[in-house]
Amino acid sequence: MPARAVRRNRPAAQLRGGRQIVSIGGAAAFEGYYKNPGAAAERVKGDDFWTGDLAYRDADGFFYFAGRASDWLRVDSENFSAAPLERILLRVSGILSAPVFAVPDPATGDQVMCAVELDAGAVFDPEVFGQTLAEQPDMGDKWWPRFVRVTDHVPLTGSNKIDKAPLRAAAWSTDDPVYIRVGRTHEYVLLDDEARARIERDFAEQGRSALLPAPLTSA
């Protein structure tokens, strides 16, 4: 079945993360989602099947998988996919896995957050992390993670894929160590109680407290 990458009405400048792959004429072969007609409607556009997968092509004509449409982030009016950033994060020494996901911004749109699982015996070094990102020529200005969660194990689905839903829900409200970027520098520092309180005040001032993650409960 022929397929193509479709822009879907987004300006080219906003498509650094990829375009959605469409199976041309493939709608007839799609049987739908069980008890989820809304999700099925998102996939079928006329005779075509919209896969939900994103891809992009480099200057040499090679295609790359850019994640799922649900992995879109919007930071300061720029839309991008998590997958290219995840590949960059894996260049940092000692990082085994680094899922990227959106968390709410106190003013508008999203902030970038990642969870990192380390190689056996590795220790997270925020200085090395920030410096390595700063050295990457393909690192987008808006791609820098605002928060970095260091975890022993990233959550997985029953099919052994990374499950970002609990990561998004918890955001920075976790017992795991979380580092926060200092302004627009490449410096990261541990998120302490004072910084958490400041984040809550920022959301409250913008009337967006409802978007805050649930607070940690005492054991």
User: From CA 145, how far away is CA 86, in angstroms rounded?
Assistant: 10
Q: Residue 50 sits in which domain range?
A: 3-57
Q: Which amino acid belongs to residue 80?
A: F
DSSP-H helix ranges across the chain: 37-43, 82-89, 126-134, 165-170, 193-205
* Residue 118 shares a structural domain with residue 204: yes
Q: Please state which of the ranges 53-57, 90-94, 115-119, 179-183 shows the lowest mean pLDDT.
A: 53-57
* Residue 176 shares a structural domain with residue 207: yes
Give per-residue pLDDT as tens, 103-132.
999 999 999 999 999 999 999 999 999 999
User: From CA 181, how far away is CA 158, in angstroms rounded?
Assistant: 33
Which residues, including other chains, have CB under 8 Å from residue 104's CB and lie 6 or more apart?
110, 111, 171, 203, 208, 211, 212
* Residue 49 shares a structural domain with residue 90: no
**Residue 14: predicted pLDDT:** 35
Beta bridge partners of 48: 45
Give per-residue pLDDT as tens, 191-208.
999 999 999 999 999 999
Q: Examine residue 67 and state whether it is found in any structural domain, yes or no.
A: no
**The dihedral sign for the CA sequence 156, 85, 101, 74:** negative
* Residue 148 shares a structural domain with residue 93: yes
Q: Examine residue 185 and state whether it is found in any structural domain, yes or no.
A: yes
CATH of the domain at 138: 3.30.300.30
